[in-house]
Every structure is written in C-alpha cells, then in structure tokens.
Chain A
Amino acid sequence: MDKTLYISSSPHVHEGGTTAKAMRDVIYALLPCVALWIYSFGIIKPSVVMALCIIGCMASEAAWEKVRGLPITIGDGSAAMTGILLALNMPPNSPWWMALLGGVAAIVIGKQVFGGLGYNPFNPALIGRTVLLISFPVQMTTWMMPRTHEITSATPLSDVKIAVGLTGNIPDEIKAQLGSVLFGGFGGQLGVVSGFALIAGGCYLIYRKVITWHIPVSFIGSAFVLSAIFWAVNSSKYPSPVFHLFTGGLMLGAFFMATDWVTTPITPKGMLIFGAGCGILTILIRLFGGYPEGVAFSILLMNSATPIIDRLTMPKKFGLVTQKG
C-alpha cells in the first residue's frame, strides 16, 4: 500500500447541511423583519440597539471561549442570531448599556455556562430579555410609536390589561383601535409592526427545512383557540384572538424562539405538546398574570419542561404494534 485511504463508518455521503448553514438561514429569514423594524423606528437608534445586542453576544461568546481555551465558535452564527432575536425583543429606544448587558447575559448565563451551543436548557435570547425585563421594568416597557417615534409606555397589551384591571372591561375607544392592530400604529414589540414579515420568514424556514411546522402551528393554534374561547364567553373583557396573535411577541416567539432547536423537544409529538403549552401559557399570563406579555415566560417555562416532554413522547419503536390479522 503506497497511499493510505480514508476509512470511516457508513454512510459515506451527507445531505450537506451544517449547523452554521442553518443558523445563517435563520438570520436570512429575520432580515426582512429587522429591516422593517429599523425603518419603522427611525434608522439610527434601533440600528445601534441591534448592533450592540449582536456585539454583546458575539464578544462575550468569544471572550468566554478564549478564557476557557476553547475553539472560538462565533463563526457558526448562533451568537449573532441570539443577538438579533434579543434586539427584536427590546424597545428600539433602549439605552446602550441595556442592549450590551442583555447580550452578555444571554450568552453567559443562557448558554456558555452550560457548555456552549447544544447544551443550554433555556433559550439564550429569551434569558437575556427576561433578565432585562425583570431588572429594568421601566426601561424595558418604554416603547416607541412606529413612524411617529413618539415615546410611550403603552402597548396594546398593556392598554388592555390596565383598562380591564381598572374597569373590568375594555373601553370602547381602545376596542375601536384594536381592529387596526394588523396595520401597526401601536407601540410595542415587533409583532405589531411586522407580523407579516415574521410569518414570511417563518415560512421560509419551514421551506428550507430548518424548522418544522409542528411548533408554530400548535403554538399559534392553541393560542388562537384558547383566546377565542375567552372572547366568545365575554368579548367586552377579553380581546379577540386576532388581536392576541398579532400583538406582542407571539409571532416572533412562535416562529423563531419556540422553534429554537436546542431548547425544544426533538420528537414531533413533543413539539406539538411544547407549542400547545406555549400558546396556552401565553394567553393565561396575558389575561390573568401580572405581566402584560407572556410569550417569553411561556417559552422559558416550556423550555424547562423539554427534557420531560422528550422522555414522555419517545416514539414507539418500529415493530412494537401488535400484529393485525
């Protein structure tokens, strides 16, 4: 033998996908939303927030890995993706230090402490957001109105919450506005300004087979059904399902956060349960909880149940069915 050949276990061919490619796909899918988001809130401020979130994530990932003497993995795009998702979850007029801190928190306590990509039990971007939300409730709920850039602390969700809290009913003037929710005009998270861009991005990911339909469908479906039930019971107190779907972070959550590979179940059945749990918890927290928005909490809560769901939904192995005939 003059030349040694390669030997490895079968299969000797590969589909070609890599983790980095999939991450890039997610970033591509987010680009339209990012563009719309930046555009709606006045180019400069949101761009800075976005950039700082990404820098916070990537720099802390690189620094952590450098200190621990590990290979630097910021090239795989997962830190950048976390940064973008985190930014989309923050008010576009956030102070600079908050964006940076959020990025660092997301990567350090959300991901690297557990050993890096693939081992984190919770969605890093949501950890970042939730840490900020609980730490700085005022700054995290100071929103801007799209286009007019007027500073407000009101979002449709908080309007409804406050009104119901005070009077037990949604006042007519708010109700009248709710119809226009589809077309923006409200302050608040991303869902308001670019619900359709998010859906398009989500569909792109499903088409690219980066994610499957299970989680988005069961998330949105269960949120729709549950809110529809409440709405049908008392429409003066509970807002309509369409309102729920297109406000807050629900679309972003359903397509981009709840579908995060690492922190969600791997079995299709588990994914359905996961999505349904997210949807139900979101609506319950929105309607009855102390916080006006529940997407982030519900996804984190379901993240913590992921290992259990995986265990309970282990597929029945081939050949276990009893023979017919």
Chain B
Amino acid sequence: MNPVSELKRGIWTENAVLKLGLGLCPALATSSSVENGIGMGVAATFVLICSNVVISAMRKIIPSKVRIPAFIVIIASFVTVVDLVMAGFLPDLHKALGIFIPLIVVNCIILGRAEAYASKNAVLSSAVDGIVMGIGFTVALVAIASVREILGNGSFFGINILGSGFVPMLLMILPPGAFLAIAFLLAGMNQVSAEK
C-alpha cells in the first residue's frame, strides 16, 4: 500500500464530496467559514477512522443480515463520543456546527466506507482508508469554505486578508452561496479531470 497514492485517491480520484457526491449536507452547511469546515472535517474523520477500525475488527462476527443496523449503532456511538467531547472542550465550535454533529451518523461517506471497505478488509488498511477518506472530506470542506469565506467575508480562517477596501459578497456565506460555490468547484473538477 503506497501512502501517496492512497492519499491521492482520498483527496482527488475518489474524493467523497467532490467526485462521488456523498456527504453533501454537512459539506454545504458547515462550510461558511474555514474554521467550521475544519472542525466538521476533523470530527467526521475521527468517526470515520474509529468506525472503520471497529467494523473491520468485527466484520467476521456481524451477521450480514443485520450488518447495516449494527454499523449504524457503532457509528452512532462514536458520534456520541465526538459530540460530548466537543461540547466539553470546544463549546463555540460545537454550537456553530449544531445539529450537524449528531448528523454525522447519517453522513453517507461513513456508512458507505463501512459497507464498501471496512466490512471486507483488514483492520490496518481500513484505518488507512478511514484516514485518507477523512482527509479528502476535510480538504473538500476547506476548499468550499475558503471560497465562501474569502468572497463572503474577505477573510481566511478568521483573518482579514483582502483589506478594508473589499466589499464582502454577503451572498457567499448565505445558503445560496454554498450551492453556487460547490457547483463551480464541481464543474472545475470536471473540467480539470476531463483535460487530463
């Protein structure tokens, strides 16, 4: 297993958000600032890695008939852990992400990886899969969030970078801006991969 190619797979070729169209809800909802995006990305990555490991370890003892409910319960447990940890240590971020923390449970990426990868592969490679997929998700979130924060607020990671002369385009941090940003990002990705 080549870590570079794996990473490339997670970030580019099989990027969950930008290539496969998974995990869209949090990608749009929590990308109004780069900070939120990273917070969401890290939280989801954590859940992804843990659930991948546990499911991979238990893949032989879970009967295939009830595997989906079992997966969901495992994922939900980790989400609860993240929820509690964030509430305790990062109350502001927890508040900003709000309902989308519990909603990590139904993030299709996580269940998708569990079903497509972790339930068929060994623990170690499942963990790596979780890491790269999580990084891919985080990268996508940061990309969307960067566009939105820079255009919509004139800042990056909370730091004003475009100076005071810039009039922020409020639209970009509002819901329509999220849709437009991801639309153009996706189109750009398509264009780049078509030209390759």
A residues engaging B (CB < 8 A)? 109, 131, 134-137, 139
- Are A135 and B180 in contact, with the CB atoms below 8 A? no
Within 8 A of A (CB), among B167-196: 167-172, 174, 176, 180
- Are A136 and B169 in contact, with the CB atoms below 8 A? yes
Residues of B within 8 A of A109 (CB): 180
B residues engaging A (CB < 8 A)? 167-172, 174, 176, 180
Nearest chain A CB to B101 CB, angstrom units: 28
- Are B171 and A134 in contact, with the CB atoms below 8 A? yes
Nearest chain A CB to B50 CB, angstrom units: 40
Picked from B167, B168, B171, the residue with its CB within 8 Å of the CB of A131 is: B171
- Interface of chain B, main secondary structure: helix
With CB as the reference atom, state the residue of chain B lying closest to A139.
B167
Q: With the chains together, A135 CA to B173 CA distance in Å?
A: 9
The interface centre, meaning the residue of A131, A135, A136, A137 with most chain B CB atoms within 10 A of its CB, is: A135
Nearest chain B CB to A318 CB, angstrom units: 43
- Interface of chain A, main secondary structure: helix
Nearest chain B CB to A56 CB, angstrom units: 15
Q: With the chains together, A135 CA to B170 CA distance in Å?
A: 4
Nearest chain B CB to A289 CB, angstrom units: 16
Nearest chain B CB to A215 CB, angstrom units: 26
Residues of A within 8 A of B171 (CB): 131, 134-135
Nearest chain A CB to B166 CB, angstrom units: 10
Residues of B within 8 A of A131 (CB): 171
Q: With the chains together, A222 CA to B176 CA distance in Å?
A: 29
Nearest chain B CB to A192 CB, angstrom units: 26
Residues of B within 8 A of A136 (CB): 167, 169-170
Q: With the chains together, A137 CA to B168 CA distance in Å?
A: 11
Q: Given contacts A131-B171, A134-B174, A135-B169, list 13 more A-B pairs with CB under 8 A.
A: A109-B180, A134-B170, A134-B171, A134-B176, A135-B168, A135-B170, A135-B171, A135-B172, A136-B167, A136-B169, A136-B170, A137-B170, A139-B167
Q: With the chains together, A136 CA to B171 CA distance in Å?
A: 8
Nearest chain B CB to A146 CB, angstrom units: 26
Nearest chain B CB to A230 CB, angstrom units: 29
Q: With the chains together, A137 CA to B169 CA distance in Å?
A: 10
Nearest chain B CB to A111 CB, angstrom units: 14
Nearest chain B CB to A68 CB, angstrom units: 11
A-B pairs with beta carbons under 8 Å apart, 10 shown: A109-B180, A134-B170, A134-B174, A134-B176, A135-B170, A136-B167, A136-B169, A136-B170, A137-B170, A139-B167
Nearest chain B CB to A173 CB, angstrom units: 33
Nearest chain B CB to A300 CB, angstrom units: 11
Q: With the chains together, A109 CA to B174 CA distance in Å?
A: 17
With CB as the reference atom, state the residue of chain B lying closest to A138.
B167
Residues of B within 8 A of A134 (CB): 170-171, 174, 176
With CB as the reference atom, state the residue of chain B lying closest to A131.
B171
Q: With the chains together, A220 CA to B174 CA distance in Å?
A: 31
The interface centre, meaning the residue of B170, B171, B174 with most chain A CB atoms within 10 A of its CB, is: B171
With CB as the reference atom, state the residue of chain B lying closest to A137.
B170
Q: With the chains together, A137 CA to B173 CA distance in Å?
A: 14
Residues of A within 8 A of B176 (CB): 134
Residues of A within 8 A of B170 (CB): 134-137
Across the A-B interface, give the 10 residue pairs with the lowest CB-CB distance, nearest first.
Answer: A135-B171, A135-B169, A134-B171, A135-B170, A131-B171, A136-B167, A134-B170, A134-B174, A109-B180, A137-B170
Residues of A within 8 A of B180 (CB): 109
With CB as the reference atom, state the residue of chain B lying closest to A95.
B167
